[in-house]
Amino acid sequence: MKGRVFLRRLATYLILSFMTVIIIYPLLWTIGASFNPGNSLISMSIIPENPTLDHYKELFAGKDSLQYGKWYLNSLKISFFTMIGTIVSVSFTAYAFSRFRFKGKKNALTLFLLLQMIPQFSALIALFVLAQLLGMMNSHWLLILLYIGGQIPMNTYLMKGYMDTIPMDLDESAKIDGASNTRIFLQIIMPLSTPMVAVVAMNGFTGPLGDFILSSVILRSPEYYTLPIGLYKLVNDVMGASYTTFAAGAILLSIPVAIIFLMLQKYFVSGLTAGGTKG
């Protein structure tokens, strides 16, 4: 018996260590690449012999085709406003769906479910054609509007599901005390939905950060790029030649995002497990 327990533990730690290596290695490799001198990776090592900050400097050198700082700000701006817009529209809509009976509610819910399944990129052709014809190229606000629209169906479902679990008695007693609907929403429902608001906020913020399709259709000049397009172009225009610079850019983005993510993790994990497992 003791032998088997030992074997099981050994296997557990072996597997977990193996996974740790697999996860950490690419990340370390990128960090190493970003400090390696020159553009070539052929002779690179994870711990460079002559580490250099050249690639980080190059990011901010202000070349026309490499406006890293600008891309960073563009991405932050788009993500931020998408997040705010998503939270506001989703929580109001979810409140309506969760607390009121009204004509068309069932149809609207079915529509949301359907839109959740049709990938937003179905709109790709329309956007490509219309943006070209109408000259709506490079508009960040158009993009933000599209992202918010794309976030609404799924997140409304999540949020409605969560609000449904908040007992109705709370609203009713507040109503007897004379509170208006909006007040009930802002002072009772919203504070109690914080875990799910955190999930929606995360979706709203990371959605634009992970999107390549829509943004590549609409944003065409380097100064308007977001990070996904900018870094993709950086890697692919001269594959290999500027990989070390890309690595530097990737590090400057990933480290803050990962740290924020890990710090906020506990807030949205509870919302995710509650909402997700319920559907």
Partner 1 sequence: MQHRKIALLLSVIPGLGQMYNKQWIKGLLFLVFGVSFIAVFADLLNMGFWGLFTLGTEVPRDNSIFLLAEGIIAIIVTCFGLAFYYLNLRDAYKNGKSRDNNQPLNTLRAEYQNLISQGYPYVVSGPSLFILIFAVIFPILFSFALAFTNYDLYHSPPANLADWVGLKTFQDIFTVDIWRSTFFDVLGWTVVWTIVASTLQVSLGIFLAVLVNQKDTRFKKFFRTVLVLPWAVPGFVTILIFAGLFNDSFGAINLDILAMFGIDPIPWLTDENWTRVALILMQGWLGFPYIFIVTTGVLQSIPEDLYEAATIDGASILAKFKNITLPMILIAMAPIIITQFTFNFNNFNIIYLFNGGGPAVPGSTAGGTDILVSWIYKLTMQSSQYSLAAALTILLSVFVIAIALWQFRRTNSFKEGA
**Judged by CB under 8 A, which stretch of 63-71, 86-94, 166-174, 191-199 contacts partner 1?**
86-94
Q: Does position 68 bind partner 1 by CB under 8 A? A: no
Is the distance from CB of 225 to CB of 71 less than 8 angstroms? yes
**Alpha helix stretches (DSSP H) within the chain:** 2-35, 54-59, 68-99, 105-117, 124-134, 140-164, 168-176, 181-184, 190-192, 194-210, 213-218, 227-237, 243-278
Q: Does position 178 bind partner 1 by CB under 8 A? A: no
Q: Does position 266 bind partner 1 by CB under 8 A? A: no
Question: Could you give the CA distance from residue 224 to residue 220 in angstroms, rounded to a whole number?
Answer: 7
Is the distance from CB of 144 to CB of 85 less than 8 angstroms? yes
Residues pairing with 63 in the sheet: 66
The only residue of 138, 149, 192, 267 in contact with partner 1, by rule CB under 8 A:
149
Residues 3-32 that bind partner 1 (CB under 8 A): 8-9, 12, 15-16, 19-20, 22-24, 26-27, 29-30
Q: Does position 62 bind partner 1 by CB under 8 A? A: no
Cβ of residue 35: shortest distance to partner 1, in angstroms? Answer: 15
Residues 184-243 that bind partner 1 (CB under 8 A): 185, 206, 209-210, 212-213, 216-217, 228, 231-232, 235-236, 239-240, 243
Question: Could you give the CA distance from residue 172 to residue 7 in angstroms, rounded to a whole number?
Answer: 58
Cβ proximity to partner 1: between 63 and 141 the closer is 141
Mark residues 35-54: x for contact with partner 1 by CB under 8 A, - for none.
-----xxx-x----------
Half-sphere exposure of 79 (CA within 13 A, CB side): 20
Cβ of residue 70: shortest distance to partner 1, in angstroms? Answer: 18
Residues 87-146 that bind partner 1 (CB under 8 A): 89-90, 92-93, 95-97, 99-100, 102, 105-106, 108-110, 113-115, 117-130, 133, 145-146
Q: Does position 257 bind partner 1 by CB under 8 A? A: yes
Cβ of residue 77: shortest distance to partner 1, in angstroms? Answer: 16
Burial 159-193 (b: 16+ CB within 10 A, else e): bbbbbeeeeeeebeebeeeebeeeebbeebbbebb
Half-sphere exposure of 8 (CA within 13 A, CB side): 5
Question: Could you give the CA distance from residue 228 to residue 208 in angstroms, rounded to a whole number?
Answer: 9
Rg (CA), the chain: 24
Cβ proximity to partner 1: between 53 and 129 the closer is 129
Cβ of residue 123: shortest distance to partner 1, in angstroms? Answer: 3
Judged by CB under 8 A, the number of residues near partner 1 is: 98
The only residue of 35, 56, 81, 157 in contact with partner 1, by rule CB under 8 A:
157
CA distances (Å), 92 to each of 85, 191, 269, in order? Answer: 11, 13, 22
